[in-house]
Structure formats: structure tokens, C-alpha cells
Structure 1
Amino acid sequence: MFQRIEKIENYGKFSNQCIGSPNWGGALRKVNVVYAPNGSGKTSLSVMFRSLKEDPELVNKKKSFSSEKSPNIRLRLEGGRLIKFCNGSWDYIVENIVVFDNFYIEDNIYLITLKKEFGSLYFFELQKKEEIQKIAEDLDSKKRERGKLADKRKNFRRIAKQKGWKYEVDKRYIAMTQGISDLDRIIKQKERERNEITMQQRDSFREKINLYLSCFSDSIEIMSLTLIEGKILYSIKINGQIINTKDYDRYSLKYSLSEGDKNALSLSFFLAKLDMIPNLKDFFIVIDDPFTSFDQYRKLATINKLVSLSSRINQMLLLTHDQYFARDFYKKCEQEKLSLQLTETINGSVFQEYDIEDATMTGITKDIKVLNEYLTKGAKSQTEMREIARCIRPSIEGIIRLKFYQYVNQTEWLGDFIKKIKESTNGSPFYRLKNSLDEIREINDFSKVYHHSNPSFMEEPISNTELKNYVKRTLKLIMEKI
């Protein structure tokens, strides 16, 4: 749906050019994961897309404090159409957008807000659209027919009174009255049929909500949904206690539900709503931090549901402040995907390409990756080579810590391990490393010169040839000896 972000200026945190990566020109893919630390413009993005469907004034409300100029946004759709926000409004509206964010949660936590976003139908009626429209057309036709017949009878009665006729016993008047009665019966039947479909679809919506809720919580269930003036009120079972809408004065959901449960409810409402939309494959879905206050189990359930959703829609934008959530979703998603980061600069927030898997590597995994990449890509500076040398010692240390986890503790380091190997005797778990002791010592002596514990490590000269030799020896030691 959206091919490219071309420009976001004077809007929220985006005060200047929003593209900050030389290798990324703003092109989007089917699934776009944006890691955005709090305060970097994540909410502004979700509001921008909400505005594109609902209300251009939302963009005006988030005009950058640092600029006197109006927001200036350029988005390009597939097919080449350019969408512009300038002079306070959008020049094109995109209907097939649904946004989950804090505003959605606020609007739907204590009741479900129904907005006029699908013409005259509620979203849960869309799967029966043709059937409902046929009934609506029949209703309109019968109501028009009744209106004409009622006018005809009224005129007949007026003329009859003028001429002194007893219209009540006139066959023509009686036939018209009977016709109106028959039409009233048909109209009521059609209205019942219409309402029955609405009730059936509403029940289907409730079942879908509970199906999602069962993935996030074993203590919450929606018992009934009541449609009143464009809102859905719900009764809910919490830990076996049923709270009906009439009980809301006595039991406050605001205080009865944990923050995680509130988030689970609103996310379940959102996902169930999407399931009720028959042409979901045409929709652009924006998800902004879907797991606030979720524990690890609920985060995993959220990832699974969003991965499934990503295969059923046109395009997804997932925004999150949690890079580990971003990584886990990104790794599991099998769609065409892109990983970005929002980074704050002196000129405002910018998008940059972001290797989320690399960025979330820690400890030994990252150190060994650095060593391997050095052998294939080399190093550009003395500073970079010193950082590579620094990775040698913790790589060996980490592997020993993993393989001998029962015999070492967290306060011991490579020097302690070398001592254990040196003093080991036949039968000791460290004894098999005795033949590699000299190699471990030599590599350690080289690497520790460039360790941060050495106050002058930044001044120590380093040879590319020597470094390459020790990196190769380190990787061979790790793979073949330890």
C-alpha cells in the first residue's frame, strides 16, 4: 500500500529531513518493524497514519515546537501516487488503515467505541454486508411503498369527508388500510431480520474476543455485548466474578483490572475487530507498542498473533520501544520485511536501517561475530583493530564459562581459568585443556594489552598482520580445542 516515506518535516520530533541512512531511501516493505526509544517520535508516526484516515487536524496538533512552519509530509503509494500534507490538510484520504495505539486503548478499555468508518455498517456486520444491504434495500422500498399508500389513503379520506361518504366501509379504503397493515408487518419482519444478523455478528465478535483473550489471560472472559448509541457495553467475568454493565457503579474496571489485563482486553478487541473485516488483505495496519505491561508469556503470545496477522494483510507498521520484542517478532515473521530505527539527532528524529539481530547480540555471541567478520571484511582503523583485539579474551573466557559452568563462578575470569588448567591433574575437568595451556596464555597475553582495564590501551600500537594471526588462532582454539 505505502511504497515510500519521502519526507516528514515540522511534525512532532521530525523537524527536518526524516531519512538518516545513506543506504535507505525511504522504501517500505510488507512488514516494517521500527525500533523507537521512548521520546523519539513513535507516537507521532501512529498519529500521522491515524490522521490520514480520520482527521487531518491530528497532524496540526503535533506541529513541531521547534519550527514556525506547518507540517510538511510526503508519502507515496504503490502505483506512484503521491500523498501530501501541506497547508494544514491531506490532499488524499486512505480508508483502509487501522491503528492500535494508546488512543485506541483509551477509547476501548471500558467500552468498545464504534466509529463511522465503514459507511452505514458496524465493522462486525461487514461479513454480512451483501445480505444486510439487500434487507436495507427491501426495507427502503417497503417504507416508500407504505408512505405512498398512506398518502393515498389520507387523500381518499379527505375527499370522502368533503363529499359526505362513509369512507370506513368503502372497499377501496379498507383495501388500502389492509395494504398498510401488510406492509407494516413486512417492515417489522425485515427489521427483525436485520437485527438478528447484527446480534449474530455481535456474538461472533464476542467469541473472537474471547479466543484472543484466552491466549493472554486465563482469568478474563467477555460474557455479553450490548449495543447502545454507537458504543458496545460488555459484561465481563474476572476470576469467576461476573460484572454486568449495571454493576459498574459498584465494581470499577479501572481498579479491578491490572494494567496487563487492560492491555490484553484492548488488544483482543482490536485483533477480533480485524477478523470481522472480510477484505483485510487490502488493509494497512499500524501497531504501536502492543504489549505495555505484558509479562514474557504475553509478549510471546502477542508476537505469535502479530506474525499470523502479518500474513493476512496488505502491509504492517510495527512500532516498539523494546528492541528485544522487535527482534523476536522480526526473526519469526516470514513476510518481506524491513527493520528500522528512529534515532534522535540535533535536526530531529530520523529513520535509519537497523540490523535488529546484530544490535541485540550480547556477550560472547557478539564478540565471536566481531572476530569472524574481521577475517572477511577487515578493519578500517587502529581504533577498530583495538576493539577487535579486545573481543579475543572475553570470547575464550565465555566459551570456558559455558562449557565448565559447573566448575567456575561469576567472580572468576580467564586468569583464574588458566590457573585451574595449570594446576589440574588427571581426572579434573580442566585437565583436557592442559595441552592448550601455552596457546591460551599467549593469546591472553596479546589480548589483555588492549583490554579496557589497561589505562593506556588506546595508545598501544597494533599490527593488522599480528591481529589477524591471533584472531585465527582464537577461533581455532574455540572451535577445536576448548
Structure 2
Amino acid sequence: MIKKIISINNYNKFILFNHSQTNWDCSLKKATVIYAPNGSGKTSLSLMFKSLCDNSSLHAKASFQASAPTEIRLLGDDNKQFIYMNNKWNRNHSCIEIFNSFYLEDNIYSISIHDNLNELNIFELTCADEALQLKSQMCQIKRELSLLKPKIRNRKMKLRQNKMEIKNDKTLKKLLLQREQLNGHFKQLGETRISLINSRIDSYIQNINRYLATFSDDLKIIDQKIVYISQSNELRFIYGLKINNHEIHFSDRQAEAPSLKYYLSEGDKNALALSFFLAKIDIVPNPKDYIVVVDDPFTSFDTHRKQTTITQLTRIANKVGQIIILTHDLHFANDFCNAYNGECLTLQIQRRNASNTLVIQDIKNDLLTGLSKDINTLHQYIYSGEQDTLYLREVVRCIRPCIEGIFRLKYFNLVKDNQWLGDFISMIRDSDISSPLYRLKDYLPEIEELNEYSKIYHHSNPNYLDVLINPTELSIHVRSTINLLYVL
């Protein structure tokens, strides 16, 4: 788990970020949601976490305005810092899984997994014991080959120095034969490993199809094959799909058949990549050790698929050590926080003093509109004691709309759209005992006082911006307004 983002300097749009630039102590929670419009630096944050995992350079993301190199400091749950300096980290966090636009692009038409003989890859988790044994043998052969290489080189060098014929040297022939046999054995073990994975991958495919079924009833993986790409030292998972009852087998994809990109919608592509990602998280060992970073997971998703995404992410959040969600959709952020059964930290990327920064965000308040937002503004002012002039002017603006709004809701059959607070006061004053408004006569003095007070700051007064606001007087009238709303 990453406990704290201590500082981000000269990285993309984060020129100078630390705790002094924000209203937050920079501590992350088990579940953290970061909101920002597109183009604000969300993906840069996801790439920062990817770099922390694989030590890839962030040089390409250095800020154009930077006068110094990129420097990042994060605090781990062991209370030791992760420091990025001189284009590398002082240490890595190997258990981080990232879903972002790059994962989407890399895993639509095939899944590529970097292959390291010293550890199990995701495809080998279903056959761990056998795969470890094969890899151990392959590592031993590689060690023997590395020892053999200088022997062959030195023997050739010695023969050339003594002007002896190379092709007839018995010692060199023996060394070359040994190398050939080792390479042959290494290749045979590799083929056995690939066959083993292909024979055990069914459970992984079933899991992918289970997720696909939650997103769409017309997408299903029907066959698959894993191949080893020696040039890039990676395993590639190639699959066939059933789309709208039309089958495209992986063998068809290798022939002169139409590409999957002509069959898949953008939503289908996203559903496939997200299903691959979720199925992968399900089979990682010790999920509590993992940090999952998800950057805008629902491109081109309809309402059903968005809700399904929320359901799956809340399940993942409860399973792994930490989840960090980056999104441009405020409603999605709010829905995830409501669905998650633990404490969820909500942040926003903001631009301050020529640098991006992360600040605490009150999503629920930001989603309020109209009357609800105005009432909340009055309520928050009572507790905040904020003295900023612009804020005070916004508070005083809310008084009239709140009274008018509640009046319209409660007495919807008595008022017209073109009637306002002054008209409502006249209606109350003229009402008789048979009218629902008659009981409000007892509150008429308070309503009239609030009307006169708020009229001074109303936009109908041409000089309203020049009128100074007394905070003490405003507090009295705000409390009076809130009390009135209860009895209207």
C-alpha cells in the first residue's frame, strides 16, 4: 500500500506538489478516487504507478516547464520512501496492476505478458508447480550456456592466435556440440512449458467469459492459443471470439480474414480488456499485497455496463490491498463511493499557482444542483465561518432562492412561474382562514425581514456588488432562513 504522496515535482503538469500546496495531508486510503476532467493529468498518475512497478522511465512525461529533473517521493506501508530521481526509482513495488488506455490498446486483439524465467507469469499461475520445475531447468541451461559462451570465444581466439584451423579442432567441436544440445534442450523445455499452459488455461478463459457475460450477452471467447515471441521475450495469448452469434476463430485471424477491429464496438473493446484485467486480478497470489490502479475504466459504456463496472471494482477493492481509481466522471466517482463498504477518500486534480495539485473533494456537494445546492451552501456557512468576500456574496445570494424554492414545492398548486418572494408575501398577507397559506401569517415578519435584507444584494439592485456584507448580520439571517425553511 502507498500510504502517502509526499511530493511530485516537474512531472507532467505537476510542477510543484506537496502538502503545503493542498488542503489535505497527502495520505491515501485503502480506496481512493481521484476526479479530474480529461487532459488534467490522470493518466500521468497511472503511468507514475506503473513506473513504480516496472521501473520504466518517466523522462517522456517530464514537465515542459521544468527547470529541474523529475523527482517523486511516495511513502510505503513500511514507512520507507519510494524515491524517483535521476530517471529511476530507489526501489520498486512489484505488486501493482494498472488498467488504463495503454492496457486497453495492448490487450484488445491479444494479451501480451513479459516472460521472466525467474518468476511465474499470469498464465502459469494455474500450473505453478510444473511451470516452476520447467523454468528451474531452463534457468540452469541458461547458466550453463553463459559459462560455455566464453569458453567457445576463448578457444576460437587461441586457435586464431596460433594460426590453427578452426573447423577441425576437436575441443571446439565438442564445445559447439554441447551448446547445440543445450539449446535444443532449452527449446524442448520451452515448448513443453507452452503446451502445459495451453492445457491448463481453461479456468482463466472461463473466468474471462464470466466477466464478459456481465457486460454483454453477445461476446464470448471460443478458442485460444498461447505462443512465445522470442524477439520481445513475451508470451502472447491469441483468441477467437463469438460476436452476435458469428464465430471468428484465432486461426481465422491469422489468415486473410477481416480484423476484429471491424467487428468490435468501442464498448466491446473496453469490455474485453476490462474482463481480461479482472480475470487476471482473480488469480494473482496474495491479492492483499497488490495495489490496483484503474484509469477511466468505462470508455463508451452504457448505463448497464457502468453499473457492472462499479460492482466489479467494489468487489476488487475489498479483495486487494489498495485501489486507486482515476475518473473524469463525477457521477461514477460518487456511485463507486456509495457502493464501496469502507471509507473512501475522494480527491480532485486542480490547477493552482501554475502547477497541478491534489485536493480533498466533497463529491456529494459538487453533485448538488439548484435548490439542494443553495440549501447546502447556507447550512455549510453556519459551520465554516468563512469570511471570503466572494463566498459571502454567494451565501447571501442563496437566501431568496431557498425560500422561493421551498414555497414553490410545498404550494405548487397556488403559485405561478412568474411569481416571486414579494408576490408570496402578498399572497400570505391576503389569505383567509380557508387558505393553506393562512398559517404562515405568524411567520410573516421574519419572511418580510429576509425579503428586505436579501433584496439589497439581489441582482435587481444595480449597485448590489458595491454593498458590503457584514458577516455577523449575514449569519443571523442565514440561521433565520434555515429555521423558516422548516416551517414553510
TM-score for the superposition, normalised by structure 1: 0.79
Kept after mapping to 2: 8 A contact 1:443/1:474: yes
Per the alignment, residue 203 of structure 1 pairs with 202
In structure 2, the gaps of 5 or more residues are 141-187, 229-234
Kept after mapping to 2: 8 A contact 1:220/1:239: yes
Kept after mapping to 2: 8 A contact 1:42/1:288: yes
471-480 or 365-374, which moves further after superposition? 471-480
Kept after mapping to 2: 8 A contact 1:222/1:237: yes
Quote the Cα distance in structure 2 between the aligned partners of 1:48 and 1:325. 23
Per the alignment, residue 398 of structure 2 pairs with 391
1:327 aligns with 2:334: yes
Distance 1:125 1:379, change over 3 A: same
Per the alignment, residue 29 of structure 1 pairs with 29
Quote the Cα distance in structure 1 between the aligned partners of 2:55 and 2:115. 13
CA drift at 1:13: 1.3
Distance 1:68 1:474, change over 3 A: closer
Kept after mapping to 2: 8 A contact 1:34/1:317: yes
Quote the Cα distance in structure 2 between the aligned partners of 1:289 and 1:409. 44
1:243 aligns with 2:242: no
Matches within 5 A, 1:253-268: 253-268=260-275
Quote the Cα distance in structure 1 between the aligned partners of 2:243 and 2:464. 60
Letter in 1 for 2:207: K
Distance 1:226 1:387, change over 3 A: same
Kept after mapping to 1: 8 A contact 2:12/2:41: yes
1:233 aligns with 2:232: no
Quote the Cα distance in structure 1 between the aligned partners of 2:225 and 2:243. 18
CA RMSD of aligned residues (A): 3.3
Per the alignment, residue 38 of structure 1 pairs with 38
Quote the Cα distance in structure 2 between the aligned partners of 1:316 and 1:117. 26
Distance 1:444 1:260, change over 3 A: farther
1:436 aligns with 2:440: yes
Quote the Cα distance in structure 2 between the aligned partners of 1:301 and 1:417. 47
Distance 1:453 1:255, change over 3 A: farther
Task: Summarize deviations over 1:310-329 as a string: whole Å, max 9, x none.
Answer: 11111121111222222222
CA drift at 1:459: 1.9
Letter in 2 for 1:460: V
SS of residue in 2 equivalent to 1:99: strand
CA drift at 1:266: 0.8
Distance 1:197 1:247, change over 3 A: closer
Matches within 5 A, 1:4-23: 4-19=4-19, 21-23=21-23
Kept after mapping to 2: 8 A contact 1:342/1:352: yes
1:215 aligns with 2:220: no
Quote the sequence identity (%): 41
Per the alignment, residue 149 of structure 1 pairs with none
TM-score for the superposition, normalised by structure 2: 0.78
Per the alignment, residue 126 of structure 1 pairs with 125
Letter in 1 for 2:128: K
Kept after mapping to 2: 8 A contact 1:243/1:251: no
Distance 1:11 1:135, change over 3 A: closer
219-228 or 117-126, which moves further after superposition? 117-126
Quote the Cα distance in structure 1 between the aligned partners of 2:200 and 2:487. 63
Matches within 5 A, 1:239-388: 239-248=244-253, 249-381=256-388, 383-388=390-395
In structure 1, the gaps of 5 or more residues are 142-187
CA drift at 1:378: 3.4
Per the alignment, residue 103 of structure 2 pairs with 104
Letter in 1 for 2:42: K
CA drift at 1:100: 0.5
SS of residue in 2 equivalent to 1:39: coil
CA drift at 1:52: 1.9
Matches within 5 A, 1:457-476: 457-464=464-471, 466-476=473-483
